[in-house]
Amino acid sequence: MANDTTSTPLLWVLDTVGFLYTGVVYLSKIVFIPNAASDDVLFNTWDENTANLVADGYRSLITGTITSTDTLTVAGTNLPAAIADGYIFNVTTSTGTALNLGRRVVKTAGTNTAVVIHNDEWTDEGPFVYTWETYKATTAIVLKAGATDASPIQIDFGPKARRIENLSLETLTGGTLYVYHARAVNI
């Protein structure tokens, strides 16, 4: 199964990492059904102001190639060395296909010559010229099954819900998440 964010209003069913929502969301309840003991979940949030860019996180008009539908490779040291797994990589302009524009969750941050994203969401192409921004992510919610117990975990945020701006799923080691939201406001 893949993440389902559209078939049921106010419910996201997530079973793969890389999901992200840009804008304000009010979470009312999260139910995590782990596959095994010690399975865990990590949601992040990020702020898209310039103070939150990683060092050298903004680059303009850099030539790169996208391969394997998940890897952008560039020459030299043009990708930020400070990028980390779970950060948000946002391609803002491209001389290639528009399908590669937008925000993605970083899967593997290796050297400053390549970045790998979750879910194989890019279209192979290149070399083309790109502009991007890279934002730091901070922990928003962590859920962890017991060391010897895989019982479901439920968090109910009550009638006021929990407001989060910009939400991404970096880690889901096993199982399925049911994320109920009171309302979501895309920006």
Number of domains in the chain: 2
Are 15 and 64 in a shared domain?
no
Are 116 and 80 in a shared domain?
yes
Residue 2 falls inside a structural domain:
no
Q: Is 140 left (phi over 0), alpha (psi -120 to 50) or beta?
A: alpha
Residue 152 falls inside a structural domain:
yes
Which domain does 128 fall in, by range?
50-135
Are 33 and 77 in a shared domain?
no
Residue 175 falls inside a structural domain:
yes
Confidence of residue 45 (pLDDT cuts 50, 70, 90): very high
145-161 tens-digit pLDDT: 999 999 999 999 988 88
Q: Are 164 and 179 in contact (CB under 8 A)?
A: no
90-129 tens-digit pLDDT: 999 999 998 999 999 998 876 667 888 888 889 999 899 9
Are 33 and 91 in a shared domain?
no
Q: Is 185's pLDDT higher than 90?
A: no
